[in-house]
Structure 1
């Protein structure tokens, strides 16, 4: 147990190269994306290089933090900084998805009824103010909307179950039950990757059978942007929980020092809540 004097001190690490490495990675990714949309081979190479550098940076940077934690240099005040940082990060993610949900609600409640009004009937005589849109400028192939029952409902059950398993793992950690901690984390990671596998299958069905793509008007755009970015967050959360599980196998974390686990569980519960909103407003209503 650190003394009061030690807890008042704040650990300042040595200057790090990782921010510069991350900047190089983002530059390569941005440059590669610009080249790739123009059909240039250099774009794919730059994208691949950028993502490899990004992974290298993440492994190295977080590895440094883990090593510092094991050395016992975080004595108290750093924990509060980590909590504030994670809280603001999740808040930024809330704003990120809020923008996409705002676009969805604007299209459904404002744009579609307006374009279907008498004022625009002469401009768009074949337009039907119904959601999901089935006709309209830019839609070259008829498509079908996604049904809520089936894979989406199953994926909802999977994510809700994963929220329960990560909470169960947390209870095990607080009670000193290491086996419960490890099993709960393993089940959570397994459920996360199962969700991703089923979502990929759902996308394949949408492309090949429903003819639903990003080019399928406002419905296709909002559907794939919201569910796609959510899937990316599930992938990120699953990787984070996998790392936490590996650390638990090595004996890391105890009842009083386990912020990495808490941060991962906060993020995972956030992902669960976003999916519930997606299921209701994108698939169901």
Structure 2
């Protein structure tokens, strides 16, 4: 890989070899999209299959670890194979993902207010306004869960692996608490996503939010196991 402006050699990129995992992932995603057209029960099944395939595809190989560790930072005059920060392509990938996710949530919020201003009655169909206690509590828990993850990232840079595990377990506990309270909140609803437009947009926004929390929970759990 080269630098952005003057194209000077910057670091070496170790690319993976051929794999059948992308084919399996495409088949799992095909089940998801087919389910949205045929039967919604296929959507979570396809999503679960896609998750399993992603784990298998991205699960680190110890032989690959050893190769990277052997190459390491390279000797004098050699290019590094391990980079971090803005030099790493992954950094830009995550930044792009954040931008895309921000656009998605912004679009959903705009859709919510579009529906709101198109009707006099809100919520629609005589649905009671949502309670604020559990959502407010969950917001606080979610914000608090970022603190141990941030602390753990600083500890691991100093080689403190045990404290990283402690931080991850703390964050996982908070995220699990968030999901449990979210289930309690859902159980109190007297409507579902098919009731009307209000119910659909509420479940879409909160459901996507819950899906992101589950993804972070699984990622943190994987890192905690492998740390």
Scaled by the length of structure 2, the TM-score of the pair is 0.79
- Give yes or no for the alignment of 1:195 onto 2:178: yes
Q: Give the deviation of 1:212 after TM superposition.
A: 3.2
Q: Give the deviation of 1:67 after TM superposition.
A: 5.5
Deviations 1:229-281 (A, max 9, x none): 10011001110111111121xxxxxxxxxxxxxxxxxxxxxxxxxxxxxxxxx
What is the aligned counterpart of 1:86 among 78, 94, 98? 94
Query: How far apart, in 2, do the equivalents of 1:233 and 1:49 lie?
Result: 17
Given that residues 144 and 212 in structure 1 are in contact (C-alpha distance below 8 angstroms), is that contact kept between their aligned partners in structure 2? no
Query: How far apart, in 2, do the equivalents of 1:133 and 1:6 lie?
Result: 58
Q: Counterparts of 1:8-157 in structure 2 under 5 Å? A: 8-36=11-39, 44=41, 50-64=46-60, 68-72=64-68, 75-76=81-82, 80-108=88-116, 110-112=117-119, 129-130=120-121, 132-134=122-124, 139=125, 142-148=126-132, 150-157=133-140
Given that residues 10 and 77 in structure 1 are in contact (C-alpha distance below 8 angstroms), is that contact kept between their aligned partners in structure 2? no
Count residues with an aligned counterpart: 208
User: Any stretches of 5+ residues in structure 2 without a counterpart?
Assistant: 1-7, 73-80
Query: How far apart, in 2, do the equivalents of 1:196 and 1:49 lie?
Result: 20
Q: Give the deviation of 1:69 after TM superposition.
A: 4.1
Aligned to 1:116: none
Q: Give the deviation of 1:170 after TM superposition.
A: 1.8
User: Any stretches of 5+ residues in structure 1 without a counterpart?
Assistant: 38-43, 113-128, 249-285
Given that residues 143 and 216 in structure 1 are in contact (C-alpha distance below 8 angstroms), is that contact kept between their aligned partners in structure 2? no
Alpha carbon RMSD of aligned pairs, Å?
2.7
Distance 1:66 1:19, change over 3 A: farther
What is the aligned counterpart of 2:199 among 220, 223, 226? 220
Aligned to 2:75: none
Distance 1:66 1:54, change over 3 A: farther
Aligned to 1:261: none
Aligned to 2:223: 244
Q: Counterparts of 1:172-211 in structure 2 under 5 Å? A: 172-206=155-189, 211=190
Greater alpha carbon shift after TM alignment, 157-166 vs 74-83: 74-83
Query: How far apart, in 1, do the equivalents of 2:188 and 2:131 lie?
Result: 12
Q: Structure 1: which 4+ aligned runs deviate by more than 4 Å?
A: 46-49, 64-67
Larger relative contact order, structure 1 or 2 (CA cutoff 8 Å, min sep 6): 1
Query: How far apart, in 2, do the equivalents of 1:230 and 1:16 lie?
Result: 32
SS of the equivalent of 1:71 reads helix
Q: Give the deviation of 1:214 after TM superposition.
A: 2.2
Scaled by the length of structure 1, the TM-score of the pair is 0.65
Which protein shows a greater Rg?
1
Query: How far apart, in 2, do the equivalents of 1:19 and 1:11 lie?
Result: 18
Distance 1:49 1:161, change over 3 A: closer
